[in-house]
Amino acid sequence: MNNDIERLVRGELRDPHSILGRHPAADGTATTVRAFRPEAQTVRVMADGEPVAKLECVHPSGLFEGTVEGSLGDYELEVGYTDGSTFGLRDPYAFLPTIGELDLHLAGEGTHTRLWEKLGAHRRVIDGVEGVAFAVWAPNARGVRVVGNFNSWDGRLHQMRTLGSSGIWELFVPDIPDGSLYKFEVVTAQGNLILKTDPYAFATEQPGGPFGGTCIVHTPTYEFTDDDWMTARESVEAYKAPMSVYEVHLGSWRRTGDDQPLNYRELGHALADYCSEMGFTHVELLPVAEHPFTGSWGYQVSNYFAPTSRYGSPDDFRYFVDTLHNAGIGVLVDWVPAHFPKDEWALARFDGTALYEHVDPKKGEHPDWGTLVFNYGRNEVRNFLISNALYWIEEFHVDGLRVDAVASMLYLDYSRDEGEWVPNMFGGRENLEAIDFIKQLNEGIHGEHPGVLMIAEESTAWPGVSRPVHLGGLGFGFKWNMGWMHDTLSYFSKEPIYRRYHHNNLTFSLMYAFSENFVLPLSHDEVVHGKGSLIGKMPGDEWQRFANLRSLFAYMWAHPGKQLVFMGGEIGQYREWDHDSSLDWHLLDHTPHKGVQLLVRDLNRAYKELNALWEMDHSPDGFRWIDANDADNNVLSFYRSNEAGTDHLVCVCNLSAIPRTGFRLGLPKGGNYLEIVNSDAAIYGGTNMGNMGTVVAEDEPWHGLDHSAILTLPPLGVIWLRTSST
Phi, psi of 478 (to 5 degrees): -145, 160
Q: Quick one: 219 exposed, middle or buried, by C-beta within 10 A (0-12, 13-18, 19+)?
A: middle
Closest by alpha carbon to 169, among 157, 186, 192? Answer: 186
Q: Which are the contacts of 486, defined by CB distance < 8 A and separation ≥ 6?
A: none
From the candidates 457, 602, 615, 680, give the one annotated as an active-site residue: 457
Give the CA angle between residues 530, 536, 540 to the nearest 5°: 135
Instruction: Identify which of 284, 308, 282 has the alpha carbon closest to the alpha carbon of residue 296.
Output: 308
Q: DSSP string covering 604-658, please?
A: HHHHHH-GGGTTTTT-GGGEEEEES--TTTTEEEEEEE-TTS--EEEEEEE-SSS
CA distances from 59 to 9, 284, 640, 709 (A): 9, 59, 83, 99
Judge whether 337 and 366 are in contact, CB under 8 Å.
no
Of the candidates 376, 98, 366, 331, the one whose C-alpha atom is nearest the C-alpha of residue 233 is: 331
Residues found in the chain: 726
Type of residue numbered 574? Y
Active site residue 404: yes
Task: At 195, give phi and psi (nearest 5°).
Answer: -100, 135
Q: Which of 290, 404, 526, 615 is catalytic?
A: 404
Q: Cα(35)–Cα(21) distance, rounded to whole angstroms?
A: 6
Tell me the C-alpha distance between 352 and 359, whole Å: 11
Handedness of CA 34, 37, 40, 46 (dihedral sign): negative
DSSP string across 256-305: -TTS-BPPHHHHHHHHHHHHHHHT-SEEEESP-EE-S-GGGTT-S-SEEE
Residue 533: which residues within 8 A CB-CB, separation 6 or more? 527, 568, 569, 572, 573, 574, 575, 576, 577
Q: Which residues are catalytic?
A: 404, 457
